[in-house]
A and B are shown apart, each in its own frame.
Chain A
Amino acid sequence: MSDSFDAETEEMERMFEEVRQRFIQSLDERMKNTEAAVARAVGDGEAAADGVERGYKELHTFCGMAGMVGFADLGSMARAALNVLSPARREKRGLEPAEVNQFQIPYQRLKAGIEGAVGR
């Protein structure tokens, strides 16, 4: 049993490391997508509501992935930014100026967190 258990454990560790590296490589694109979505999310209309939805989706996925590949703190920071988008998403509307400012606080924290964690 131990040989098979060891092999399974090694396989899991190897796979986790691969996913972790892929996540790190994807960070620039994830942040770029989030910023593009939130830039479109300001104001009224369907395009703004769609921007909120896309930004929310990016951060939602980020939350789920980050914690599983050893970046629980980054996941919590992303969740804080996600929470700011939640009311607008629920109401299917764009962000108000105050919400954009509010979003920037956890989002800039997240960017600094990424810089600290993986040096980018």
Chain B
Amino acid sequence: MPEQETLHRIILIDDEPDILEIASLCLETVGKIRVSARSSARGIVEFIDRIRPDLILLDVMMPEIDGPTALTHMRADPRFDHIPIVFMTARIQPEEVREYIEMGAIGVVGKPFDPMGISDELKRLWSESRASGSVALSAVG
């Protein structure tokens, strides 16, 4: 299988509709990334199975199932435990970021994010994650 060179498709989950709208538009328009967006992490595993994303951008603070809980669900399924996850949150103190990384996220995007820069940031995190070998190449896509 030829090595995938760029980030093509992501899942974006955030309970705030305006954030979903802005982020989706920026990622698709500026980054040319296909975005499958939803407002809840409920049924996340089934959604991943259907979409097969290269990366998941996940809000930390959501009702019902928060980002860290959703991450735990994904990591418990060996089919999807390799997919890189980036958290999105307004809380980006160094100790908080360290906690998210220790949970298994490859990075954190702070809110508010730079609408014109978020695509490059995700592509950078995704590339670094692949370079470090934390992503199983054959299992993506």
Query: Chain B residue with minimal CB distance to A16?
Result: B22
Q: A57-B61, A60-B91 are in contact. Are A12 and B25 (CB under 8 A)?
A: yes
Any chain A CB within 8 A of the CB of B29?
yes
> Do B112 and A65 touch (CB < 8 A)?
yes
> In which size bucket is the chain A interface?
20 to 34
> Do B19 and A64 touch (CB < 8 A)?
yes
> Do A23 and B18 touch (CB < 8 A)?
yes
In the bound complex, CA of A82 to CA of B92 (Å): 13
Any chain B CB within 8 A of the CB of A68?
yes
> Do A64 and B90 touch (CB < 8 A)?
yes
Any chain A CB within 8 A of the CB of B117?
no
* Total A-B Cβ pairs within 8 A: 56
> In which size bucket is the chain B interface?
10 to 19
Q: Which of A63, A69, A82 has the most CB of B within 10 A?
A: A63
Q: Quick one: which of B14-66 are within 8 Å of A by CB?
A: 16, 18-19, 21-22, 25-26, 29, 61, 63
> Do A63 and B111 touch (CB < 8 A)?
yes
Set of chain A residues within 8 Å of B16, measured between Cβ atoms: 61, 64-65
Set of chain B residues within 8 Å of A45, measured between Cβ atoms: none
> Do A79 and B29 touch (CB < 8 A)?
no
Q: Quick one: which of A83-106 are within 8 Å of B by CB?
A: none
Query: Chain A residue with minimal CB distance to B14?
Result: A64
Set of chain B residues within 8 Å of A57, measured between Cβ atoms: 61, 63
Q: A60-B90, A68-B111, A72-B112 are in contact. Are A22 and B61 (CB under 8 A)?
A: no
Set of chain A residues within 8 Å of B61, measured between Cβ atoms: 57, 60-61
In the bound complex, CA of A92 to CA of B22 (Å): 32
Set of chain A residues within 8 Å of B89, measured between Cβ atoms: 60, 64
Set of chain A residues within 8 Å of B22, measured between Cβ atoms: 15-16, 19, 68
B residues with CB within 8 A of A:
16, 18-19, 21-22, 25-26, 29, 61, 63, 89-91, 111-113, 115
Give 8 nearest A-B pairs by CB, closest first.
A67-B112, A64-B111, A63-B90, A68-B112, A64-B90, A19-B18, A8-B29, A60-B90
A residues with CB within 8 A of B:
8, 11-12, 15-16, 19, 22-23, 57, 60-61, 63-69, 72, 75, 79, 82
